């Protein structure tokens, strides 16, 4: 029988028996003309692919393999993959008749192995009460590979992608079957695993023969694959290093594959770190970032990694080192796909766009991707590319707080006495900031506050980062330097908020998400600012999802019962804030900064809103990080700069991180999914960072947490 005739029978026959019949006395003297790929291979009716777009069947997994029917489902899933491989190899022989004879002989040998594997799977699934074709089958492999334009596409797409992934799946499920006592199925998967090593080695041999000799295996592999295929499809639940070494892969290839991530089906959301959104809105088109701001954005470009779900994408200025990404994997973090240019995504289907904050800068970068979205643009306002500037304004936050404090007594009225006690800790309206848009208005506000007994004041630009664009007045009158600063701002049509400088006891933040159905609480975190009010750190305790940090309640002197009432009064605040945000049609992250301070009599008071941030914040990053932390542990997120690290005696971030990791090694606990119990890990690459380093420190309990202070500012 001619090889072409055999390949046609395998590809087009509607009889499973004929498809799986091994060849006898094969010759390849008349390979014929190149043939185009059909829309689908010939198959018996019960094995025809389910329609594209049909609901995907749940992967059988390992949870219920003790049941024969579940084992049969899993074997059915794998049996279809083996049949697909058989058909695709027949297509290769028909599509590339001019390929080297040695290559074609190798494809034939592999095809025969796949026929054998399919027959063995059919027998095993039948032994478990499942007939081949009794369940829907997917044609994904066919759709991903059949359009191949060269034998190189075949070896990259099938041998080095799907068959390489089977090095992981076959070994994993062989062990699962052995664990439940199904020795026959375990033995079958073990045989397939060993055969697959040979198949992958065969593909790797030809891949290396045909690739550019100046390219590494990894670079050539990534370049050769065509979307939707990616290296992410070349691995299973975990990377089986011994199997890949046996197939001939280099350590460098295996290490790159281990950290590679790309969506395998779910349309990803694209994340972007643009922390200068408020500064850009304040300055308008004249904005020019200083060196400090440039380094902040560049150093922390990977920070949205910790806001993502698996398969999401983060746009980065520079991909971090492999050693850094391996640290994150060791700490049980899920790695998203990292992309250096939005242009790489112009042909990808996307599920949403999530910058740090929506503004002209993020819109300019992300709007070319809007046509790729499978749903509506996930911007703060439907169809509008920027968060309303008013929402970023500290004047808007102050006005919201003033209105809330006026209705607060009625919210507590008629309730249990503990609500009155909770109400009593709220600040008076007198400490709420007052906006000013002229020097005359500013002087009037300063005089009014001082008549009320507030000697120390702070003047903040309404748009700008916390602690920046602010001047503190600790002496009578208005000195020349702050006066000139104010005159310059007002000449540029900017506004300020003037408020008392409060004696802080403890700061905290509340992280929320504004959705179509209202404001949803994400969690509470403690907040550490320096003496100028600039950010240093956040911390979170085990009950961060539903309760204030313990230090907040203890600083206020509240019992747990009154603390519950305080949370309910905050619920009233969330409802009112949600209505206000809905008026702007805003959707997205919200962070509220708040503080406990010493009142005029020395008694602690609560300022429930210092400012409202319609964007992601470091507190939100911490809340998302805590999802990967053991339920009993505490976590602290710190932002360090190079000066603070040098003051501790370290020449750079790399040395600091090495010392901290030796002092606080990673410990993961829990089943079936281990989580961080304790340890230290950097959140951006310390070898690439020039000025800023974000670090995450996990402690087993509050005692260890409070015994280890945050680093200096």
Reported as a single tens digit per residue, the pLDDT across 602-661 is: 899 999 999 999 999 999 999 999 999 999 999 999 999 999 999 999 999 999 999 999
Spans of all domains in the chain = 269-387, 391-429+503-614
> Backbone dihedral region of 446: left (phi > 0), alpha (psi from -120 to 50 degrees) or beta?
alpha
Contacts of 604 (CB under 8 A, 6+ apart): 425, 505, 555, 556, 557, 596, 597, 598
Return d(Cα 166, Cα 176) in angstroms, integer. Answer: 15
Say yes or no to pLDDT of 468 above 70.
Answer: no
State the Cα angle at 231 between 227 and 235, rounded to 5°: 130
Could you read off the pLDDT of 314-331 as tens digits, one per residue? 999 999 999 999 999 888
Query: Which pLDDT value is given to residue 445?
Result: 95
Query: Which pLDDT value is given to residue 713?
Result: 34
* Residue 149: Cβ within 10 Å count: 10
Q: Which of 98-112, 192-206, 207-221, 559-573 has the lowest mean pLDDT?
A: 559-573
Q: Which two tokens stand for residue 652?
A: 């750079």
Say yes or no to pLDDT of 216 above 90.
Answer: yes
Could you read off the pLDDT of 440-456 as tens digits, one per residue? 999 999 999 999 999 89
The helix (run of H) or strand (run of E) holding residue 389 is helix 389-392
State the Cα angle at 451 between 557 and 421, rounded to 5°: 20
Query: Which pLDDT value is given to residue 712?
Result: 40
Average pLDDT rounded to a whole number, residues 261-288:
86
Return d(Cα 438, Cα 226) in angstroms, integer. Answer: 60
Could you read off the pLDDT of 134-175 as tens digits, one per residue? 999 999 999 999 999 999 999 999 999 999 999 999 999 999
Q: Which two tokens stand for residue 447?
A: 């005089």
Say yes or no to pLDDT of 27 above 90.
Answer: yes
Q: Which of 4-8, 164-168, 373-377, 683-687 has the lowest mean pLDDT?
A: 373-377
Q: Which of 335-349, 353-367, 417-431, 662-676 has the lowest mean pLDDT?
A: 417-431
Higher confidence at residue 152 or residue 424? 152
Strand duo 457-461 + 269-272: pairing? unpaired
Average pLDDT rounded to a whole number, residues 219-227:
92
For domain 391-429+503-614, give the fold: D-amino Acid Aminotransferase; Chain A, domain 1 (3.30.470)
Residue 560 pLDDT class (50, 70, 90 cuts): confident
Q: Which two tokens stand for residue 244?
A: 């890949």
Q: In which residue are the tokens 């094969």 written?
A: 26
Query: Which pLDDT value is given to residue 382?
Result: 44
Query: Which pLDDT value is given to residue 417?
Result: 72
Q: Is residue 8 within 8 Å of 17, Cβ to Cβ? A: no
Return d(Cα 84, Cα 698) in angstroms, integer. Answer: 47
Mean pLDDT of the chain: 91
Q: Is residue 301 within 8 Å of 316, Cβ to Cβ? A: yes
Query: Which pLDDT value is given to residue 63?
Result: 67
Average pLDDT rounded to a whole number, residues 176-189:
95
Q: Considering the chain, what percentage of its residues have pLDDT values greater than 90?
A: 73
Return d(Cα 492, Cα 546) in angstroms, integer. Answer: 43
Residue 474 pLDDT class (50, 70, 90 cuts): confident
Q: Is residue 431 within 8 Å of 499, Cβ to Cβ? A: yes
Higher confidence at residue 595 or residue 279? 595
């Amino acid at each position: 029988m001619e090889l072409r005739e055999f390949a046609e029978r395998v590809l087009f026959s509607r009889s499973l028996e004929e498809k799986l019949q091994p060849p006898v006395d094969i010759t390849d003297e008349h390979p014929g003309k190149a043939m185009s790929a059909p829309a689908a291979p010939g198959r018996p009716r019960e094995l025809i692919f389910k329609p594209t777009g049909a609901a995907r069947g749940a992967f059988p997994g390992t949870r219920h393999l003790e049941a024969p029917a579940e084992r049969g489902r899993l074997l059915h899933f794998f049996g279809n993959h083996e049949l697909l491989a058989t058909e695709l190899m027949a297509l290769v022989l028909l599509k590339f008749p001019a390929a080297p004879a040695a290559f074609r002989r190798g494809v034939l040998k592999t095809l025969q192995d796949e026929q054998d594997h399919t027959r063995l799977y059919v027998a095993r699934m039948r032994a478990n009460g499942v007939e081949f074709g009794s369940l829907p089958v997917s044609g994904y492999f066919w759709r991903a590979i059949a359009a191949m334009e060269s034998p190189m596409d075949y070896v990259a797409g099938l041998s080095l992608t799907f068959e390489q992934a089977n090095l992981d799946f076959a070994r994993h499920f062989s062990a699962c079957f052995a664990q439940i006592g199904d020795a026959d199925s375990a033995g079958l998967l073990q045989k397939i695993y060993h055969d697959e090593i040979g198949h992958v080695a065969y593909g790797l041999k030809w891949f290396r023969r045909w690739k550019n000799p100046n390219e590494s295996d990894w670079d050539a592999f990534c370049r050769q694959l065509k979307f939707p295929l990616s290296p992410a499809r070349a691995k299973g639940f975990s990377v089986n290093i011994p199997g890949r070494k046996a197939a001939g892969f280099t350590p460098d290839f295996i290490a790159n594959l281990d950290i590679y991530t790309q969506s395998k089906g779910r349309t990803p959301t694209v994340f972007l770190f643009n922390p200068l959104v408020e500064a850009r809105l304040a300055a308008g088109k004249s904005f020019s970032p200083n060196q400090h701001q440039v380094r902040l954005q560049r150093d922390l470009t990977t920070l949205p990694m910790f806001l993502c779900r698996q398969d999401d994408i983060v746009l980065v200025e520079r991909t971090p080192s492999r050693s850094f990404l391996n640290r994150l994997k060791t700490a049980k973090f899920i790695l998203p796909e990292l992309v250096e240019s939005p242009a790489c995504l112009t042909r990808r289907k996307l599920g949403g766009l999530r910058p740090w904050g929506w503004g002209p800068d993020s819109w300019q970068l992300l709007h070319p991707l809007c046509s790729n979205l499978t749903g509506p643009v996930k911007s703060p306002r439907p169809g509008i590319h920027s968060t309303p500037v008013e929402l970023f304004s500290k004047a808007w936050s102050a006005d919201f707080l003033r209105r809330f404090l006026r209705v607060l007594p009625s919210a507590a009225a008629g309730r249990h006495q503990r609500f009155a006690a909770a109400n009593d800790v709220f600040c008076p309206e007198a400490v709420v900031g007052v906006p000013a848009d002229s020097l005359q208005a500013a002087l009037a506000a300063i005089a009014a506050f001082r008549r009320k007994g507030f000697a120390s004041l702070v003047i903040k630009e309404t748009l700008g980062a916390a602690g920046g664009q602010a001047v503190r007045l600790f002496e009578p009158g208005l000195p020349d330097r702050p006066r000139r600063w104010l005159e310059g701002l007002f000449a540029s049509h900017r506004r300020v908020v003037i408020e008392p400088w409060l004696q802080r006891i403890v700061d905290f933040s509340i992280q929320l998400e504004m959705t179509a159905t209202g404001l949803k609480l994400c969690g509470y975190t403690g907040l550490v600012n320096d003496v100028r009010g600039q950010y240093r750190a956040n911390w979170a305790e085990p009950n961060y999802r539903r309760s204030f940090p313990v230090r907040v309640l203890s600083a206020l002197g509240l019992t747990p019962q009154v603390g519950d009432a305080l949370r309910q009064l905050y619920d009233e605040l969330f409802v009112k804030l949600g209505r206000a945000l809905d008026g702007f049609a805003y959707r997205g992250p919200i962070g509220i900064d708040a503080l406990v301070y010493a009142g005029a009599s020395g008694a602690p008071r609560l300022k429930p809103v210092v400012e409202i941030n319609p964007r992601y914040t470091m507190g939100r990053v911490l809340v998302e990080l805590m999802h990967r932390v053991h339920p009993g542990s505490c976590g602290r997120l710190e932002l360090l700069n190079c000066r603070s690290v040098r003051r501790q005696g370290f020449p750079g971030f790399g040395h600091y991180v090495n010392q901290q990791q030796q002092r606080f090694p990673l410990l993961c606990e829990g089943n079936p999914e281990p989580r961080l119990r304790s340890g230290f890990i950097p959140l951006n690459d310390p070898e690439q960072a020039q000025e800023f380093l974000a670090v995450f420190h996990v402690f087993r309990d509050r005692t260890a947490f409070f015994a280890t202070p945050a680093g200096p500012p």
